[in-house]
Amino acid sequence: MTQEILAGANWRTNPEIAPRMFAVFFVVRQLHELLWYLTEALALSATRPLHAKLQAASAETHDLARSGAEALSALDLAGNRLRVNDLLRKASALAREASAGPALDRRGADLIGADLRAIDLRGSDLRGANLIGADLRGASLALADLTGVDLRGANLAGADLGSALFLLQSQLESARGDLATALPSTLTRPSHWV
């Protein structure tokens, strides 16, 4: 970011640029997160009907992430994020159609500390759900959308996350799991899991 967007400027040698630099960093980070989600959506075979739109959104987001500091400062980040999220929700719905589970809609649900071991979560939409400290031991989250799910302290021991949608490494790092927890091949088992 400092080399390409801010032409090598450094807030340590030029402290007056720190506020602007940090603001731009926040925008670039958000755009790169969207790029990750778009890349994940494009990797799903079920989203083929949306590939042209997903590719266009990815190219646009990539261009935005490489634009100059002035353009990034003026960017309507919330509006851009809403447009991309709408497309990602459609991609999620297409992918979750293949699930044999009940595909529950638990978007934004408050499930803090909930015992979810007996709940079939395959194909469920859990976007933005709060699962802090939830007990998901042995649960199947196959094709469940985990975008923005707060998994801090959640117990994922023996859970099947192998085909979970939009699961981030940082979500795993904040949860508890074990060697029996199935993970997508793109993610790494956290070192603190036993």
| Extents of the domains making up the chain | 15-96, 100-194
Angle between helices 51-65 and 77-96 (to 10 degrees): 150
Alpha-carbon distance 155 to 177, whole Å?
Answer: 6
* Nearest C-alpha neighbor of 3 from the set 76, 59, 68, 85: 68
Q: Work out the angle between the directed axes of helices 18-42 and 77-96 (0-180°, nearest 10).
A: 20
Tokens of 151: 């998994």
CA distance 89 to 112: 24
Per-residue model confidence as pLDDT tens for the chain (194 residues): 555 555 566 656 666 666 667 778 888 899 999 999 999 999 999 999 999 999 999 999 999 988 877 788 888 999 999 999 999 999 999 999 999 999 999 999 999 999 999 789 999 999 999 999 999 999 999 999 999 999 999 999 999 999 999 999 999 999 999 999 999 999 999 999 98
CA distances from 46 to 91, 120, 143 (A): 8, 22, 11
| CATH class of the region 100-194 | mainly beta
Q: Would you say 150 and 127 are in contact if contact means Cβ atoms under 8 Å apart?
A: no
Phi-psi region at 50: left, alpha or beta (left = phi > 0; alpha = psi -120 to 50) = alpha
